Amino acid sequence: MKKNKSIIVYVFLLSLMTSAFGQDLGVTTFEKEYEISDKKPLEVLIDIDAGEINIIKGNKSRTAAVFMQYTKDNFRGMSRYDKERNSLEIILDHKGLFKNYDNDNIAELELKLPADIEIIFDSKVKAGEIYMSMGGLILIEFMVNNWAGEIDISFDEPNKGLMDFLGIKSRVGELQCSKLGNARFERADINGGIGELDIDFTGDLINNCMAKVDLDIGESYIRLPKNIGIKLRIGGWSFLSEKNIDSYFYKRGNSYYSEDYSNSKEKFYIRVSPGLGELTIECY
């Protein structure tokens, strides 16, 4: 996938992530571990104005670890765990917008999640670079909402439970998802506004799962697995896009089917709605 950066993204990021030349901003560091109850699923709620976010599987039983570092003159950070609700809330607010900044500004979050607790994950990020390695957790819901920036989400290991819903929304920027089949979702909704999508559905897809992928403007590259019967529907403003569909599919009516669809015991249903740009779909 091409790596050309959206000018809109980086003008916005630079306006949030830098501060006045020569100013002594000072850096605040926050680090805390929380012992998580196993009585009900853990709700993880993340609300970030801008920054670099890294979320991975931790190595301690029933423990969530939060590390934040930020320039105190421009950001305020907060983390709290409510044992009764079994919810972990993390906030990193920017104190003001549209100021003159330099590259001395810091806003970072690293979160390690427990691998032995069911998790409902919900994150909202206005601008930033996001890396999430979510394999090997027990995710029952997974939602990511990003306004501008780059997102890299991977499931290198299978999710240890069934995920009811996977929702990813990126308004401006690049979105890359690897091994989403390992998320073991029942329903997935992936939405891009302006930018590039690189979505890989290979992995341990469950039978009769469904996914919807939308992009308004930009390039979409979608990889699908050959170990499951696939029914593919292309809709939306598809006449505006240049489409490159793998020869592994044959067209019948308004849908595309994988070669072994009729004989496959397990099925995957996907609808793709490309906008203005190029759509490429390949099978591996």
What string of DSSP letters covers 218-275? EEEEEEE-SSSEEEEEE-SSGGGEEEEE-TTEEEETTEEEETTTTT-SSEEEEEEE--
Mean pLDDT, the chain, integer = 89
pLDDT band at 20 (very low <50, low <70, confident <90, very high): very low
Residues 118, 38: Cα–Cα separation, whole Å? 8
What are the structural domain ranges in the chain? 12-283
Kindly state the average pLDDT of the residues 208-216: 95
The class that CATH gives domain 12-283 is mainly beta
Residues 127, 9: Cα–Cα separation, whole Å? 8
pLDDT at 24 (0 to 100): 46
Residues 131, 54: Cα–Cα separation, whole Å? 5
Residues 119, 209: Cα–Cα separation, whole Å? 20
Kindly tell me the sign of the dihedral angle through the C-alpha atoms of 242, 247, 248, 251.
positive
pLDDT at 3 (0 to 100): 46
Burial of 98 (0-12, 13-18, 19+ CB in 10 A): exposed
On the question of pLDDT at 142 being above 50, the answer is yes
Kindly state the average pLDDT of the residues 215-231: 94
Q: Which of 2-16, 150-164, 267-281 has the lowest mean pLDDT?
A: 2-16
pLDDT at 115 (0 to 100): 98
pLDDT at 103 (0 to 100): 55
On the question of pLDDT at 220 being above 60, the answer is yes
Kindly state the average pLDDT of the residues 245-261: 94
Residues 260, 231: Cα–Cα separation, whole Å? 11
Model pTM score = 0.87
pLDDT band at 14 (very low <50, low <70, confident <90, very high): very low
Residues 89, 107: Cα–Cα separation, whole Å? 17
Q: How many other C-beta atoms can be found within 10 angstroms of the C-beta atom of residue 280?
A: 17
